[in-house]
Chain A
């Protein structure tokens, strides 16, 4: 891998990571992919429905595939996203207590929603995994409780303001970073987080648990807040 050329984005990302004291990952400040190039992003697809591991980041650029769905209704990109995320949505819903058959049906619906609501996706604000999580969560509420979920007011800025590439990169990496941080946690703490997010704990039960490790996400909060303030002024 060519890492020895001068790359200001990589230097910036490295500085940023150090500043924010981000949770350690196995490949801490790995190579930074070049800015998303809409023509190039097609090339991460290898045949129908097969996502090829991108050679720049050693992992598939899900955000680029999602942008291809958003901007060009690219069905091959959708198929690649489906192969990866649909089984995970099914797994997540089953962990949350949904029966296998319904979880499978919901996973398909969640992926179909990913397609119809693609215009709302902003790669600087959420990784694809995070976005998929919010859609799956809302679907679970619909199915389990037949209740509405009040959503916060939408912000007056969205995907058509050209996102900053360093932010896109940071956001895309955060799932990997958080997954690593989660797996580094002692079993008891990890189980607690899982139970909270699988909807097994009420807010007062979460409040009663003192061992909830929240330090790993504090830097993310700072980053998101800076971005919000920047955009709103």
Chain B
């Protein structure tokens, strides 16, 4: 898998700092599971966090070491790494199983979605777009992250294949089209509702929480 579109430095720093909304964190964790480059970059940003930890010490109250020694639990054994499924592990945790366990809901024109349960600040969903199908033309009020898990899509900016992440902000308006040949499955997260151009998707927006 050759990945050409990666997490940006700001997204990785915010993820390393633990300051991304959960839905964006899920996209980041899933991309990193597929991408060595971003895994290495995350490690480097976490090392900066390690250096910051070294800089500021505040004395603990007396007896805190003894209190901690008294509460030490049994060391946990290392869990064997789960067998690779179609969905990377961070996603199987949210789906509650592999791709077959996804509870798809129709969005119209053959497009299906499954909203994943995440905390406030942003929403995450899996999208299933039939080969050759277009997603209605839309703009963005905030940030939209779209990670391709299977198949590929194209928009005016580029082609996005498995592992590729498109970061769309307010200045991008696009009509993603799934490539012919294979259905496209994506993980998408937004921190603000999308802006659809035509009336029909706009009317349906509240219903589909998109």
A residues neighboring B (CB under 8 Å):
49, 73, 75, 78-79, 82-83, 85-92, 94-95, 100, 103-104, 107-108, 111-112, 115-120, 125-127, 129-134, 136-138, 140-141, 145-156, 158-159, 174-175, 178-179, 181-182, 193-194, 196-199, 201-204, 206-207, 212, 214, 217-218, 220-222, 224-225, 228-229, 232
Query: B29 to A152, Cβ gap below 8 A?
Result: yes
A137 to chain B, nearest CB (A): 4
User: Does A94 contact B58, Cβ atoms closer than 8 Å?
Assistant: yes
Report the bound CA distance from A125 to B50 in whole Å: 13
B2 at the interface (CB under 8 A from A): no
Closest to B78 in A: A119
Complex CA–CA separation, A212 to B54 (angstroms)? 20
Q: What chain B residues lie within 8 Å of A203 (beta carbons)?
A: 8, 10-11, 13-14, 19-20, 24, 143
Residues of B77-100 contacting chain A, CB below 8 A: 77-79, 81-82, 88-90, 93-94
CB neighbours (8 Å) of B59 from chain A are 87
A-B contact pairs, 27 of them (CB 8 A): A82-B65, A82-B68, A86-B68, A88-B54, A92-B56, A104-B61, A108-B67, A111-B68, A117-B75, A120-B78, A130-B43, A133-B46, A137-B18, A140-B18, A147-B119, A148-B118, A149-B18, A150-B26, A152-B42, A154-B89, A179-B55, A197-B16, A201-B19, A217-B48, A220-B43, A224-B40, A228-B36
Neighbouring A residues of B143 by C-beta, 8 Å: 203-204
Which of B29, B68, B78 has most chain A Cβ within 10 Å?
Answer: B68
Q: Does B141 contact A (CB under 8 A)?
A: no
- Give the residue name and chain of the B residue nearest to A92 (CB): B53
Among A88, A119, A127, which residue has its beta carbon within 8 angstroms of that of B57?
A88
B144 interface residue (CB < 8 Å to A) = no
Select the residue from B11, B54, B76, B89 with max chain A CB neighbours within 10 A: B54
Q: How far is the CB of A82 from chain B (nearest CB, A)?
A: 5
Roughly how many angstroms separate A232 CA and B40 CA in the complex, as a whole number?
A: 13
Assembled-state Cα–Cα distance A50/B206 (Å):
61
* Bound-state Cα–Cα, A145 to B25, Å: 13
CA distance A120 to B80 in the complex (A): 11
Whether A130 touches B46, Cβ cut-off 8 Å, given contacts A152-B90, A199-B19, is yes
In the complex, B133 has a CB within 8 A of chain A: no
In the A-B complex, the 5 residue pairs with the smallest Cβ-Cβ separation, listed nearest first, are A130-B50, A91-B56, A178-B51, A129-B50, A153-B33
